């Protein structure tokens, strides 16, 4: 970052490069605003890439009577699939009935509501199955006979963030990573934002409005703007583990535990199983968050209640954790805390606004962003038009939502020297933009140096030049 004597001026500064911040930047840039996004690390470095990687309504939230959140999330589920079918795909979840836990009538009722309150159109409905005769039952212990299979979606969470930032930049937004906001203040009818780069260089920016999308650090940023703040948040750590593949089919699992919690087991990167999540109140630093030994053991023990193949902490190949910045609604247990969001607008006597984003989940990021930009429209004349992102594909997503197989077939036709695994990975990361870097290559040599596992010089050059 270079030293700037005169601060660059923007309509809107978004602070935070997670899914909410990048979603706001994309929406506002698409409505005509001059947008600056500042992220102290890398895009999707924190909570947004440490999710369970689901686009879902949140079946368990029905137990907490969060019907509005579930309805909104279910509606967004198919909208997001439609605008990003390369990085989002439908997934069928197997929910075994366990005697002594939630009764079958309650599961059936919850799944009926789940099927009908969100405007499901393309996803298949719930069905009951006999696990003794279903492929998903083969990996489970013999005590599980009945199950329900319902629909939700899988997402490449980090790519979702990157593609929102990429589209924001394509629409004129200035995306600056590794740039930390050290102080911001209202002056001369706007905001002056002081920032520092990783190399110690300083910069100032001017903006007519600021969106605080700092995630777990949202209160820290408020403190940098106002001094002390009386607001409270609930930081909840969610941890996951990845182990060698426990089942050989395309279904995922939704499991119940005797303590009332639930967890997922998902097919992951062909050869692995992703298991999570935990819910633990988090009181420490939010940087470099990792699962503790108790959480890893808890997830292993949970999996061992269901799967024939037992796992131990020694089988864990990778683990990760993220801190969710939730609204503190006074819930007794962290898993019961709302996953809804709240937008707080600070604009006393019509002063230049600061909009802070609290809570939320990946599935609702687009709707949150549209609502946030709408709240800022009275302050920013440059913003024009209404909610547009529900119909606008993310970069590479301009093909039918059920057209991924055809996309792979088209890539195979044009690049027959690539194996199926490489074609699938490329299609699921880049969608129709894969042709932008595969270009006129007719063999592997045409893609330059090869670094193993399908990664080539041509792809790296594209990532460096185009992806942020």
Segment 178-185 shows an average pLDDT of: 96
Q: Residues 113-152: pLDDT tens digits?
A: 999 998 888 999 999 999 999 999 999 999 999 999 999 9
Q: Do 222 and 29 touch, CB atoms closer than 8 A? A: no
Is the overall model pTM greater than 0.75, yes or no? Answer: yes
Segment 410-426 shows an average pLDDT of: 97
- The per-residue pLDDT for 2 is 47
**DSSP letter string, 334-345:** GGGS---EEEEE
Number of Cβ atoms within 10 Å of the Cβ of 185: 12
Taking the C-alpha atoms of residue 189 and residue 33, their distance in angstroms, rounded to an integer, is 17
pLDDT band, very low/low/confident/very high, at 467 (cuts 50, 70, 90)? confident
Residue written as tokens 């932008």? Answer: 436
pLDDT at 450 over 70: yes
- The per-residue pLDDT for 1 is 45
Taking the C-alpha atoms of residue 112 and residue 146, their distance in angstroms, rounded to an integer, is 17
| Of residues 3 and 383, more confidently modeled | 383
- The per-residue pLDDT for 284 is 86
Alpha carbon of 250 to those of 58, 94, 149, 241: distances in Å? 20, 11, 12, 19
- The per-residue pLDDT for 120 is 87
Q: Residues 150-162: pLDDT tens digits?
A: 999 999 999 999 9
The percent of residues above 70 in pLDDT, for the chain, comes to 98
Q: Residues 90-121: pLDDT tens digits?
A: 999 999 999 999 999 999 999 999 999 988 88
Fill in the DSSP letter of residue 466: T
Taking the C-alpha atoms of residue 328 and residue 52, their distance in angstroms, rounded to an integer, is 22
Taking the C-alpha atoms of residue 365 and residue 394, their distance in angstroms, rounded to an integer, is 14
Neighbouring residues of 269: CB distance < 8 A, sequence distance ≥ 6: none
Domains, the chain: 8-46+159-232+339-376 (3.50.50.60), 90-153+234-325 (3.30.9.10), 404-465 (1.10.8.870)
Round the CA-based radius of gyration of the chain to a whole number and report it: 23
Tell me what the pLDDT averaged over the chain comes to.
95
Segment 163-181 shows an average pLDDT of: 98
Reading the block at residue 17, the tokens are 């490069």
- The per-residue pLDDT for 350 is 84
- The per-residue pLDDT for 339 is 86
Alpha-carbon dihedral angle through residues 123, 368, 342, 240, given to the nearest 10 degrees:
60
Taking the C-alpha atoms of residue 160 and residue 22, their distance in angstroms, rounded to an integer, is 9
pLDDT at 78 over 50: yes
* β-pair partners for 191: 186, 207
pLDDT band, very low/low/confident/very high, at 330 (cuts 50, 70, 90)? confident
Q: Residues 251-295: pLDDT tens digits?
A: 999 999 999 999 999 999 999 999 999 999 998 899 889 999 999
Neighbouring residues of 296: CB distance < 8 A, sequence distance ≥ 6: 239, 241, 313, 316, 319
Neighbouring residues of 124: CB distance < 8 A, sequence distance ≥ 6: 90, 92, 151
Largest pairwise CA distance in the chain = 71
């Amino acid at each position: 970052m270079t030293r700037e004597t005169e601060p660059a001026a923007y309509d809107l500064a978004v602070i935070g490069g997670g899914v909410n911040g990048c979603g706001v930047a994309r929406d506002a840039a698409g409505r005509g605003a001059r947008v600056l996004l500042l992220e102290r690390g890398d895009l999707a470095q924190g909570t947004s890439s440490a999710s369970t990687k689901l686009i879902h309504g949140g079946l368990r939230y029905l137990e907490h009577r969060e019907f509005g959140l579930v309805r909104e999330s279910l509606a967004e589920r198919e909208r997001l699939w439609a605008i990003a079918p390369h990085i989002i795909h439908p997934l069928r979840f197997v929910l075994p009935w366990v005697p002594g836990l939630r009764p079958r009538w309650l599961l059936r009722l919850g799944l009926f509501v789940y099927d009908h309150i969100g405007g499901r159109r393309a996803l298949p409905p719930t069905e009951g199955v006999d696990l003794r005769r279903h492929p998903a039952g083969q990996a489970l212990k013999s005590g599980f006979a009945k199950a329900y299979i319902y629909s939700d979606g899988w997402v490449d969470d980090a790519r979702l963030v990157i593609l929102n930032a990429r589209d924001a930049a394509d629409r004129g937004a200035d995306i600056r990573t590794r740039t930390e906001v050290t102080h911001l203040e209202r002056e001369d009818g706007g905001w002056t934002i002081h920032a520092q780069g990783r190399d110690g260089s300083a910069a100032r920016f001017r903006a007519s409005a600021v969106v605080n999308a700092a995630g777990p650090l949202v209160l820290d940023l408020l403190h940098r703007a106002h001094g002390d703040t009386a607001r409270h948040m609930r930081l909840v750590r969610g941890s996951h583990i990845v182990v060698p593949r426990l089942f050989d089919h395309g279904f995922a699992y939704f499991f119940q535990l005797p303590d009332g919690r639930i967890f997922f087991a998902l097919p992951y990167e062909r050869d692995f199983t992703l298991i999570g999540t935990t819910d633990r109140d988090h009181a420490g630093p939010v940087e470099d968050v990792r699962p503790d030994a108790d959480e890893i053991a808890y997830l292993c023990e949970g999996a061992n209640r269901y799967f024939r193949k037992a796992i131990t902490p020694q089988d864990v190949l990778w683990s990760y954790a993220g801190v969710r910045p939730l609204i503190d609604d006074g819930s007794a247990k962290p898993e019961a805390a709302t996953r809804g969001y709240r937008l707080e607008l600070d604009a006393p006597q019509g002063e230049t606004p600061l909009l802070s984003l609290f809570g939320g989940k990946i599935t609702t990021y687009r709707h949150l962003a549209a609502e946030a930009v709408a709240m800022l429209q009275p302050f920013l004349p440059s913003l024009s038009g209404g909610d547009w992102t529900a119909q606008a594909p993310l970069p590479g997503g301009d093909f039918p939502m059920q057209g991924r197989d055809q996309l792979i077939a088209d890539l195979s036709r044009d690049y027959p020297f690539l194996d199926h695994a490489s074609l699938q990975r490329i299609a699921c990361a880049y969608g129709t933009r894969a042709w932008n870097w595969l270009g006129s290559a007719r063999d592997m040599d045409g893609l330059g140096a090869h670094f193993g596992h399908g990664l080539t010089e041509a792809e790296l050059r594209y990532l460096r030049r185009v992806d942020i």
